[in-house]
Structure 1
């Protein structure tokens, strides 16, 4: 295997990028934020249909809380109420500075090409201004200073087509409460990582959900059968891209935190997940399924390497 070269480039790191914007010059790298969320430690097939390369029972709302705690920051989180109350809350908040907003339903954000309605995809943005017609945002999916009409923004912010999260959630009042080194931030989430890799979670999962090796094998079967019901599209446009990048960052962060054996396993996982992109685009389902079956035993290897 060649020397590890950390990935730098585009990718769907919406909450990590949004946090980095809010935390400013004292922010750790987005790699540290993402790995400190404990999200990269596993794979899940939710309800037997929707697959992600993140930990069983994990979601970004859980990850945001864990990441902030790990890097020594706090924030004030609010949610709920009527659309009018939520908008008033946002107006008041942005008068004092930018606001972390989400989860949002990405399909309602029509400044993004081809978005015409809900697609069940979560997203996070930074709100900059609110007036009577639109919300001005930094959208970390590649759209700085995007203008979103109020009706579209509120529909997205309601988040009723997502599998987690409360409507009209936002975070303000970010404050650093401790100086935490990057290595210590990563070390602090190793117990959670080991639990996720052992499929220990407090979250109630839908019937038919699978984690880690079982998820990898089942998804391999689904892909081999034709990757129907949007599975291929979800993988090639999102899951593979974010999964491979997170695992590459996990390898970098674990090495930095003193876990070289675990870092080697995470790099292998990154390579295997990244290798799915070309065959799935080409509809070479047999090759993609083989890579997933090779991925399956690495989750237990990673757990063992973390001690």
Structure 2
């Protein structure tokens, strides 16, 4: 297996890597992403009868950050607010308190309100995570893994994005993780068992047949402009990279599942090419192949989880 390293939208993973690195913990982004267990199956984001929006994952980044920290033996401080309209002074004070120990992972944010990004007007409602470095003179200093290191925003502007009103999956507004301490170092077999257990639970709780139904919808109705752009710039290449990272992690423990993930990664690469060529019939066929492999992967995850 030849591993891929490059521009992939793994903002939650890269933000956590940056924070842990500042604490002196050496973690690889591709390994951490595999432990997030995000890139399995598929879920419907918008159930349009002709042109549904489908993401090729079955997890939520905020939950996955906490799962990942736990299985690696960390203790940490976190904070979020379930109901909007809380006292922002409390939020600012909690952030400042966490920053006394080191950088803080923050998200989800609404990318459409991160005004240092020149494309922010086109990104309303897109979820994002960043690594906050400091809070000085009313400005939030941060590294944004979308290619914007050393950014800053006024706190009152930053919290508008941080409230995440347009992000459907959030556990609450103003989510953050900091104060990381490693209290134990679990072995690789223990981590593998934890990952397998999460894979099983997420497949059991998730929707079945989404990829196959999506392939059929594309075959019947073609693609909307929104679908084309989402797949061109985001979802297929992200799904391919996630599948490769999962394959590498699984290879030591379960070669059969690892081989399936590597084949799925290759087909997501082909799906990207089919989409660029605007060949809906070919894309539907490729997605059907992904569905078949994912069904087998799901069976093994439930069996071995």
Match of residue 75 from structure 1 = 76
Match of residue 51 from structure 1 = 54
Match of 1:261 among 232, 256, 261: 256
For the 8 Å contact 1:42–1:196, the answer to whether it is kept is no
1:217-245 deviations in Å (ceiling 9; x for gaps): 22223434232262222222221122111
C-alpha distance in structure 2 between counterparts of 1:259 and 1:265, whole Å: 10
C-alpha distance in structure 2 between counterparts of 1:119 and 1:32, whole Å: 30
Match of residue 65 from structure 1 = 66
For the 8 Å contact 2:101–2:178, the answer to whether it is kept is no
C-alpha distance in structure 2 between counterparts of 1:178 and 1:223, whole Å: 48
Question: Secondary structure at 1:189's aligned position in 2?
Answer: helix
For the 8 Å contact 2:108–2:164, the answer to whether it is kept is yes
Distance 1:97 1:191, change over 3 A: closer
Q: Give the 5 Å matches for 1:222-301.
A: 222-224=217-219, 225-228=221-224, 230-256=226-252, 258-301=253-296
For the 8 Å contact 1:108–1:117, the answer to whether it is kept is no
Matched, 1:8 2:5: yes
Match of residue 208 from structure 1 = none
1:255 shift after superposition: 0.2
Structure number with the higher helix fraction is 2
C-alpha distance in structure 2 between counterparts of 1:66 and 1:86, whole Å: 23
1:49-95 deviations in Å (ceiling 9; x for gaps): 3311112xx21122112111121112211112333332232233324
- TM-score (ref. length: structure 2): 0.87
1:30 shift after superposition: 1.6
Question: Secondary structure at 1:230's aligned position in 2?
Answer: helix
Q: Give the 5 Å matches for 1:1-307.
A: 4-24=1-21, 25-48=24-47, 49-55=52-58, 58-80=59-81, 81-116=86-121, 119-165=124-170, 166-197=172-203, 199-200=204-205, 211-212=207-208, 214-224=209-219, 225-228=221-224, 230-256=226-252, 258-306=253-301, 307=304
C-alpha distance in structure 1 between counterparts of 2:113 and 2:222, whole Å: 29
Question: Secondary structure at 2:71's aligned position in 1?
Answer: helix
Question: Secondary structure at 2:129's aligned position in 1?
Answer: strand
For the 8 Å contact 1:247–1:269, the answer to whether it is kept is yes
C-alpha distance in structure 2 between counterparts of 1:139 and 1:75, whole Å: 21
Question: Secondary structure at 2:166's aligned position in 1?
Answer: coil
Unaligned runs of 5+ in 1: 202-210
C-alpha distance in structure 2 between counterparts of 1:305 and 1:261, whole Å: 9
1:223-278 deviations in Å (ceiling 9; x for gaps): 3423226222222222112211110100100003x100110000111111122222
C-alpha distance in structure 1 between counterparts of 2:283 and 2:183, whole Å: 45
For the 8 Å contact 2:143–2:149, the answer to whether it is kept is yes
For the 8 Å contact 1:279–1:288, the answer to whether it is kept is yes
C-alpha distance in structure 2 between counterparts of 1:282 and 1:84, whole Å: 51
C-alpha distance in structure 1 between counterparts of 2:291 and 2:199, whole Å: 17
Match of residue 204 from structure 1 = none
For the 8 Å contact 1:71–1:182, the answer to whether it is kept is no
For the 8 Å contact 1:118–1:161, the answer to whether it is kept is no
Unaligned runs of 5+ in 2: none
Distance 1:287 1:149, change over 3 A: farther
